[in-house]
């Protein structure tokens, strides 16, 4: 138990990543007892009650280069919790808060600990409509799915324009994107490597479930028109193939690199069909956009569907689950309870 009054002296559990002798490469994350003084600076301390596992968290825990960029580091890019102490006028002890991204878990100590010390300008008040567990279920992946949908809407796409293709459909961003799009009245084509999850994806609202195999290989630079838009989490050939088969005047929101960071595409969809490629970043998205995204999530995400696509684990099991996520063996979203 962490007591607000004795916080400065309390020791708590944290996943801890140190650098090797070169000072640049991460050693495997290990559990450590730490004090608040060992966390990065910030004007608000938060008792972490919940967090989650995103693709990026999986990469950080696997020691992938380029994610953990400061040492020692507490990984975990999403914090959901209660304010313990605050030097900010915007927050007071007891407030329920959410944090997604801003380099937390990468260059600023993050969520895989019982306490986080954060900057108040990064924090959102958790909407009353969302329990802490559901806010963690949404996490960066869910909020990014909302940003992708908002990008397509801002471009002018409506359900009348035709279906939206979603890659990585069984993963975090993909499953939330399908739930959102279906609630908004869009037909969706779910591309997945796990066609055995077809019933699950149809339960979330997917109109059609197709094998991602047809997208992951090099395809024609310009194909038959099949969808009005797409949400892509994969990059590489998948993104190139999605662009090549987007209807005249359509748009693809690209947020991920699960297949690869390359984009082996041609300009044909852009110059012959006026297709738009919309980049989506959640990490440094301005606060006003985040607030809008959370208002929309409260309004447009079916919370019972969110529950069906989420599984709950304990913080102690985070490393094991993250390794599975990188192997594509985790469906939907993970809620991590932090005691």
Which stretches of the chain bind ligand NDP, using CB under 6 A? 54-56, 140-141, 144, 167-174, 192-194, 212, 216, 233-234, 238, 255-259, 280-283, 325, 328
In the complex, least distance from residue 329 CB atom to ligand NDP, rounded to whole angstroms: 9
Nearer to ligand NDP, 114 or 235 (CB): 235
Residue 196: φ, ψ to 5°: -65, -15
CB atoms within 10 A of CB 72: 16
In the complex, least distance from residue 234 CB atom to ligand NDP, rounded to whole angstroms: 4
Nearer to ligand NDP, 114 or 334 (CB): 334
What are 47's two structure tokens?
């008792």
Nearer to ligand NDP, 29 or 147 (CB): 147
In the complex, least distance from residue 88 CB atom to ligand NDP, rounded to whole angstroms: 25
In the complex, least distance from residue 290 CB atom to ligand NDP, rounded to whole angstroms: 12
DSSP line for 47-104 = EEEEEE--HHHHHHHTT-TTT--SSSB---SEEEEEEEEE-STT--TT-EEEEE-TTB
CA distances from 304 to 29, 140, 177, 300 (A): 34, 19, 15, 12
In the complex, least distance from residue 87 CB atom to ligand NDP, rounded to whole angstroms: 29
Burial label, 147 (beta-carbon count in 10 A; 0-12, 13-18, 19+): buried
Nearer to ligand NDP, 246 or 259 (CB): 259
In the complex, least distance from residue 120 CB atom to ligand NDP, rounded to whole angstroms: 22
Nearer to ligand NDP, 186 or 191 (CB): 191
Give the contacts of 64 (CB within 8 A, at least 6 positions apart).
none
Nearer to ligand NDP, 211 or 339 (CB): 211
Nearer to ligand NDP, 10 or 334 (CB): 334
- Count Cα atoms within 13 angstroms, Cβ side, for 35: 6
The C-alpha atoms of residue 45 and residue 81 are separated, in whole angstroms, by 10
Nearer to ligand NDP, 45 or 182 (CB): 182
Angle 213-215-218 from CA coordinates, rounded to 5°: 105
Closest CA to 194 of 213, 173, 217: 213
The C-alpha atoms of residue 161 and residue 247 are separated, in whole angstroms, by 9
Residue number with the smallest Cβ distance to ligand NDP: 171
- β-pair type (12-16, 30-34): antiparallel
CB 141 within 8 A of CB 171: yes
In the complex, least distance from residue 118 CB atom to ligand NDP, rounded to whole angstroms: 19
CB 44 within 8 A of CB 91: yes
Give the contacts of 189 (CB within 8 A, at least 6 positions apart).
163, 164, 165, 166, 206, 207, 208, 209, 210, 226, 227
Nearer to ligand NDP, 84 or 243 (CB): 243
In the complex, least distance from residue 32 CB atom to ligand NDP, rounded to whole angstroms: 26
In the complex, least distance from residue 195 CB atom to ligand NDP, rounded to whole angstroms: 9
């Amino acid at each position: 138990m962490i007591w607000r009054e004795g916080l400065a002296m309390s020791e708590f559990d944290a996943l801890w990543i140190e650098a090797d002798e070169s000072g640049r490469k991460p050693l495997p994350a290990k559990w450590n007892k730490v004090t608040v003084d060992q966390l990065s600076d910030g004007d608000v301390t938060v008792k972490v009650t919940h967090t989650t596992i995103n693709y990026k968290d999986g990469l950080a825990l696997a020691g992938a280069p380029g994610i953990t960029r400061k040492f020692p580091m507490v990984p975990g890019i999403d914090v959901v919790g209660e304010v313990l102490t605050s030097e900010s006028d915007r927050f007071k002890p007891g407030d329920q808060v959410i944090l997604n991204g801003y380099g937390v878990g990468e260059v600023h100590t993050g969520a895989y600990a019982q306490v986080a010390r954060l900057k108040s300008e990064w924090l959102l008040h958790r909407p009353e409509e969302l329990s802490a567990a559901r806010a963690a279920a949404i996490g960066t992946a869910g909020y990014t799915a909302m940003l992708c949908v908002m990008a397509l809407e801002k471009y002018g796409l409506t359900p009348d324009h035709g279906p939206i293709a979603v890659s990585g459909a069984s993963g975090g961003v993909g499953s939330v994107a399908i739930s959102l799009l279906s609630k908004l009245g869009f037909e969706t084509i779910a591309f997945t490597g796990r066609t055995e999850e077809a019933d699950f994806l149809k339960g979330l609202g997917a109109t059609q479930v197709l094998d991602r195999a047809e997208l992951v290989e090099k395809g024609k630079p310009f194909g038959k028109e099949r969808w009005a838009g797409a949400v892509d989490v994969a990059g590489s050939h998948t993104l190139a193939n999605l662009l090549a088969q987007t209807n005249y005047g359509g748009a693809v929101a690209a947020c991920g690199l699960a297949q690869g960071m390359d984009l082996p595409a041609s300009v044909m969809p852009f110059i012959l069909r006026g297709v738009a490629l919309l980049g989506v970043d959640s990490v440094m998205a301005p606060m006003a956009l985040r607030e809008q995204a959370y208002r929309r999530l409260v309004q447009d995400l079916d919370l019972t569907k969110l529950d069906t696509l989420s599984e709950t684990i304990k913080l102690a099991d985070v490393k094991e689950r993250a390794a599975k996520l990188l192997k594509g063996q985790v469906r939907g979203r993970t809620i991590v309870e932090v005691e």
